[in-house]
Structure 1
């Protein structure tokens, strides 16, 4: 994303336009979600940010680890179905920043009903990078297989965070607050070589090859990350999940709950493609290269 350029935001699942022809005057990175916990270490006087909030103004786009924030006041296209969020449909608390009902904070695609993000306040919307595609206004929407897109975006998040913050352990949480899995980044310099019908469809980084779709044709190569993971659904690995929750060296990542289940399926299929003797490492499940 670059300032002073026009962009269109599409629903990744169905291609419907979510935000039409938006020009961002400022594109700014957000600090870590837990930045306020360290303010006392930075300042020798009372917290100067105690009453401040990092909410985008008109024309702003704030970029987080796996999401971006937009000001809802200048949306050119807002979801309009009953299950969607718009300014008129928000239920705001007395403080004006917290929404009473969790269900009312969900931003839903009006065509396919997929969750795209959530409302952070009465004038701020968070969109998850796994749910939308941002393209220049002069471009056109190009569909990408869902499993491949989720792999690419999650792998990019893990890679960027590990590089910027030397963080290699992650908890994957849903918007319902539940922990779905623990991920330990093993390496990020794997190069995959496979017979592909269209190798150009694999962009940047992926967790593993798209094993859901048989391919043929000349060999293609792309970068991949390899991870260890532990599922945490149905109270599995609860003690380990609790320990990671309290570990400052573990970075939490939040996605829509449906996307967490998709990611868990992708990882499970990757593990199943390995020989049984290579599927585990120190009780963690291993993904195929």
Structure 2
């Protein structure tokens, strides 16, 4: 049996879809679950189970039955009021990057540790200043920052820590400063000389590694800064609880930011000549799936790796194209497929596109 539940907020209705059953009967409804009795397609055994709802609901009328336009698919509609429901958008004003300056500044203590051996890499002991990067693609905006751009003839300004030598379209932190990007941290090599080491085995592909276990943490930039990817670290808030960064959130944040800033719904991501096209179809959804994974601000994302469909879409739609690291690319494909497989088969495809639901910073294990 597969199930899918969505709260249709505009009409105040819960839609329940159940598949791979021969019969189904509604037994009971609570604020957070519905209880059903069913028979599988190839069995006469009567079974009971519950299906999680995507929130707490008041349901005034439970005297309804499942309907079926074609077996083995049944659907049920329940008039419902969701407690504390706020109409959300996946790219609302409250969307913020994970482990940003605002979040970290509210912590009295934190360290970032190697995800492999737990060795401390970043702490308040070696960084007293935190600053957010202006954008993951900040270099494209540099020509517009005239108020921060020094005159080439102003040698006093050009010799400061921020503008060493000459203006090179780079942000250069001081030794005790950590720059926070959406998916990475940026700092000077001397800021972490005791915590990291350089892997120079491949001169064309240098890597930054944990000095204790040699696990890869990031890479040097063309400006000779240290770039550490967040998914290679874990946040320690109190010496007991650790928080990780899912690589798929790097791509999901890019998709939502593109939708918010440029009203674009398509993003083409690539890694090593492999391409994946994402279509942000809808945002701010309340859903639950067969495995009781609940999302209260889900994004409906259609996706394809079909090159012919990608070529056609590029000709007709405004599209952002980005190249990403291996970890977020592979994790994105994995999460999209996992989400798609959890849906009833009747909901897995939209024309030639595959359907999935993802929520920023909320992914099933």
TM interval, short-chain normalised: 0.5 to 0.7
Question: Is residue 272 of structure 1 aligned with residue 346 of structure 2?
Answer: no
Q: Distance in 2 between matches of 1:120 and 1:284?
A: 37
Query: Residues 152-191 of structure 1 correspond to what in structure 2 (within 5 A)?
Result: 152=249, 154-174=251-271, 177-191=272-286
* Deviations 1:147-185, CA, capped at 9 Å, x for gaps: xx34555444533443344343223334xx544422222
1:224 counterpart residue number: 298
Pairwise CA distance, 1:56 = 2.5
Question: 2-side partners of 1:57 and 1:221: how far apart?
Answer: 41
CA distance in 2, matches of 1:266, 1:124: 32
Q: Does 1:17 align with 2:120?
A: yes
* Structure 1 position 261, deviation (Å): 1.6
Question: Which segments of 5 or more consecutive residues in structure 2 lack a partner in the other structure?
Answer: 1-100, 153-165, 359-365
For residue 262 of structure 1, give the secondary structure of its aligned residue in structure 2: helix
Tell me, yes or no, if the aligned pair for 2:217 and 2:232 is still in contact at 8 Å: yes
Quote the Cα distance in structure 1 between the aligned partners of 2:233 and 2:250.
10
Quick check: 1:171–1:179 contact (8 Å CA) kept in 2? no
TM-score by length of 2: 0.51
Distance 2:312 2:183 in 1: 23
Q: How does 1:76-225 map to 2 (within 5 A)?
A: 77-80=194-197, 85=198, 101-104=203-206, 106-109=207-210, 115-121=216-222, 123-136=224-237, 138-142=238-242, 149-152=246-249, 154-174=251-271, 177-193=272-288, 222-225=296-299
Mapped pair 1:68 → 2:185? yes
User: Which stretch shifts more, 111-120 or 258-267?
Assistant: 111-120
CA distance in 2 between partners of 1:101 and 1:31 (Å): 29
Q: Secondary structure at the match of 1:190?
A: strand
Tell me how far apart the structure 2 counterparts of residues 111 and 224 of structure 1 sit (CA, whole Å). 39
Task: Flag the structure with higher strand content.
Answer: 2
The structure whose residues are more often helix, as a share, is 1
TM-score of the two chains, using structure 1 as the length reference: 0.62
Name the CA shift for 1:170/1:221 in 2 (closer, same or farther; >3 Å). Answer: closer
Counterparts in 2 of 1:111 and 1:163: CA distance versus 1, 3 Å: farther
Q: What value does the CA root-mean-square deviation take over the aligned residues? A: 4.4
Q: How many pairs align? A: 239
Question: Could you list the runs of 5+ residues in structure 1 that have no partner in the other structure?
Answer: 92-99, 195-210
CA distance in 2, matches of 1:112, 1:167: 42
Of residues 320, 324, 333, the one that matches 1:254 is 324
SS in 2 for 1:52: coil
SS class of match (2:171): coil
